[in-house]
Structure 1
Amino acid sequence: MSEPSESLLSVQGLEKHFPITKGLIKRQVGAVKAVDGLDFEVRKGETLGLVGESGCGKTTTGRLITRLLEPTGGKILFEGRDITHMSQGGLRPLRRDMQMIFQDPYSSLNPRHTVGAIVGAPYRIQGVKTEHGTKKAVQDILELVGLNPEHYNRYPHEFSGGQRQRIGIARTLALRPKLIIADEPVSALDVSIQAQVVNLLEDLQNELDLTYVVIAHDLSVVRHISDRVAVMYLGKIVEIADRKGLYEAPMHPYTNALLSAVPVPDVKGRTGRERIRLQGDVPSPINPPPACRFHTRCWKAQEVCKTVEPPLAELATGHRVACHFPENAPKDAVPGDAATQVPA
């Protein structure tokens, strides 16, 4: 992972509400608030991990960033340029700089196309000419991701899951993008193959100076590959910190609960470690709880959590957390009157 520098992507108040309609005239009676006010940035050369439970809005966020979905509100700035409501014609050249690795390597590849046609599609769509022809360029990319260049004329069904994901990665790399959104890139793969793909992504980042947003629910994978980690809950980010700060001293109760569920292979590492079991189900994004959305499942919740929404405040340590009672936070690091809320 390269040393991060200036901002490549900036997300400000991003929202995506899916309307719920009823009747023959499709009257809107509500909305699914899948993403409800996100603020974060991704610096050039870094990897930002985006984690949370299923249904928290991670994948929707990735699709909004790449403009596969139209945002309901907020802003998306790429290299300082507002792309929030850019037309499809305006987005076409932008696709060269922003690509996506999809979760399922089985359904994301057209079974009727050869590997050469799949990986070479970006060149045809963008009208890009290569020095030695498209076939040579595709074979070079296949070799770059650990596949045999002779696989050019084969079909997806002839490959294993890990190889198919490498084909998807090769397609993503064809135009040498600056930003790659990896949506659960290893969740559909065997454990033994996951490490290979994660290591491949790291090697490609170092070699090609890539920037990643890695969407995952597996915190072990995120810890291995990320520079910074953002934790989502019910459409909102509740904590952002550098990898070491978040894993060694998580501040939001929800982050603590997620980390307590991560398997630890070392028996000594499990000594004194308490598993936090959250009570109740995840609330509906159609009608989320008021104020702090986590208060219905939080063991630290008090009356203020039900009436006042905690902002995603930045502490003196650089850690950002949306909680009235953050854990593991030095009192002198909590801004304003919030210091009095930190338990001794």
Structure 2
Amino acid sequence: MSTTARPDEADTAIEPAADDADALLRVNNVSKHFPIKQGILIQRQIGAVKAVDGVSFAVRAGETLGLVGESGCGKSTTGRVVAKLLDPTAGEIYFGGQDIAKLRRGQMRSLRTDIQMIFQDPYSSLNPRHTIGTIVGAPFRIQRTKTENGVKAEVQSLMERVGLNPEHYNRYPHEFSGGQRQRIGIARAIALRPKLIVCDEPVSALDVSIQAQVVNLLEDLQNEYGLAYIFVAHDLSVVRHISDRVAVMYLGKVMELAPRDTLYSTPMHPYTHSLMSAVPVPDPHKEGRRERILLIGDLPSPINPPSGCVFHTRCPKYRAVLSESDRERCRSEVPALDAKTPNQFVACHFPEARADIAAGEDAGITGGDTTASVPAGETGAGATAL
């Protein structure tokens, strides 16, 4: 973890939504639904893909909030909505005290100096027809920002800061490796010294050895410029290394939100239990004693999510532990994201703190998508992981 002064977990409770007055970013009950239309001459909406459905959280200056979950849970869409690359269907997004949710593209231009994004794919996020100098220098030209020694000198300084050779100013993206291209994207994102950067799985497309270098670079830049990050990832080890707090998402909703150490030591939501149980621990003795929690069936469709708790169709606790009356509550009543401890918010009717399946402290940064699902009715030793 970096050494920047950050919110203390022992402080007063950190609210998950717009109630945190000290937050740089406040996201309150935000949804993003993509309409499904039918017809040729006259189109009518017949449904909607509920990619994000009532998400609330807050991010303070200099803090890193990790967003984790299975593929299709809505974490990347949440990041794009926060960065206003997508307009929210409903909800409020307060940045620096201003509600930006309903601002149009032209009105957002001045705020682009404060909100930037690092994209997942370092290949498609850079224009192959432009040189690196043009790509990294674009923010200065678009915002008409004056620099002391000119745009070229500033761009070369940025390239050197992120570990690139300034002499490669006139090279094209295809002349760089994947890790170098991601550094170019980082240089472009920090060019105007933003306050918040949305990192959309910035290391998932990179080799394991390069992942650590990029994560360390992001931490160094956070220390130097006081950046706040929303770090979207599927690798729990990477998230643990860089995040201050972690939000676990499932089917467009936040299931659990807690400080990093709290979440990894005593997770409370059954979905978080299954994720943590699948994180490998290097010690074979500890690994042999941990319970593997299987998730039966496939992820439900966001077009028609389950009623009540969206996780109840795959919840191990719902299947094996709860009584029929408790199951009915899970099927009919949507659980609120409430504080179960001062800083730990859980959207579950029957949460349970479990330290026995928590990932070990020595679980290092790993690479690759380890997501795997057990088909309905099938048993085995596998588990769903991030």
Normalising by the smaller structure, the TM-score range is over 0.9
Q: What SS class does the counterpart of residue 189 from structure 2 fall into?
A: helix
In structure 2, which of residues 16, 23, 35 is the aligned counterpart of residue 19 of structure 1? Answer: 35
In the alignment, the residues of structure 1 paired with residue 176 and residue 99 of structure 2 have an alpha-carbon distance, to the nearest angstrom, of 40
Report 1:212-251 matches (<5 A): 212-251=229-268
- The residue type paired with residue 214 of structure 1 is F
In the alignment, the residues of structure 1 paired with residue 70 and residue 188 of structure 2 have an alpha-carbon distance, to the nearest angstrom, of 28
The match for 2:220 is: 203
Report 1:122-133 matches (<5 A): 122-133=139-150
- The residue type paired with residue 28 of structure 1 is Q
The match for 1:97 is: 114
The match for 1:135 is: 152
Cα deviation per residue 1:213-259 (whole Å; 9 max; x = unaligned)?
A: 00011111100000000000000001000000000100000011111
Q: What SS class does the counterpart of residue 107 from structure 1 fall into?
A: coil
TM-score normalised by L of structure 2: 0.84
Tell whether 2:64 aligns with 1:39: no
Would the aligned equivalents of 2:273 and 2:354 in 1 still touch at CA under 8 Å? no
- The residue type paired with residue 314 of structure 1 is A
The two structures, once aligned, show a CA RMSD in angstroms of 1.2
In structure 1, which of residues 4, 10, 13 is the aligned counterpart of residue 6 of structure 2? Answer: 4
- The Cα of 1:265 is off from its aligned counterpart by 2.3
- The residue type paired with residue 148 of structure 1 is N
User: Kindly, what percent of the aligned residue pairs are identical?
Assistant: 67
Cα deviation per residue 1:80-139 (whole Å; 9 max; x = unaligned)?
A: 101011122210010000000000001101111111000000001111110000000001
The match for 1:185 is: 202
Cα deviation per residue 1:175-204 (whole Å; 9 max; x = unaligned)?
A: 000000000000000011101100110011
Q: What SS class does the counterpart of residue 24 from structure 2 fall into?
A: strand
In structure 2, which of residues 290, 300, 320 is the aligned counterpart of residue 273 of structure 1? Answer: 290
Would the aligned equivalents of 2:162 and 2:183 in 1 still touch at CA under 8 Å? yes
The match for 2:346 is: 321
Report 1:5-84 matches (<5 A): 6-24=22-40, 25-84=42-101
Stretches of structure 2 that go unaligned for 5 or more consecutive residues are: 8-21, 319-326, 356-386
In the alignment, the residues of structure 1 paired with residue 354 and residue 289 of structure 2 have an alpha-carbon distance, to the nearest angstrom, of 21
Cα deviation per residue 1:233-289 (whole Å; 9 max; x = unaligned)?
A: 000001000000000100000011111111222323313112212000000000000
- The Cα of 1:329 is off from its aligned counterpart by 7.5
The match for 1:256 is: 273
Q: What SS class does the counterpart of residue 53 from structure 1 fall into?
A: coil
Would the aligned equivalents of 2:337 and 2:346 in 1 still touch at CA under 8 Å? yes
- The Cα of 1:315 is off from its aligned counterpart by 2.1
In structure 1, which of residues 305, 326, 330 is the aligned counterpart of residue 330 of structure 2? Answer: 305
After superposition, the Cα gap between the structure-2 partners of 1:316 and 1:258, relative to the gap in structure 1 and judged at 3 Å, is closer
The match for 1:333 is: none
In the alignment, the residues of structure 1 paired with residue 246 and residue 297 of structure 2 have an alpha-carbon distance, to the nearest angstrom, of 26
Paired positions, count: 330
In the alignment, the residues of structure 1 paired with residue 241 and residue 157 of structure 2 have an alpha-carbon distance, to the nearest angstrom, of 27
- The residue type paired with residue 3 of structure 1 is A
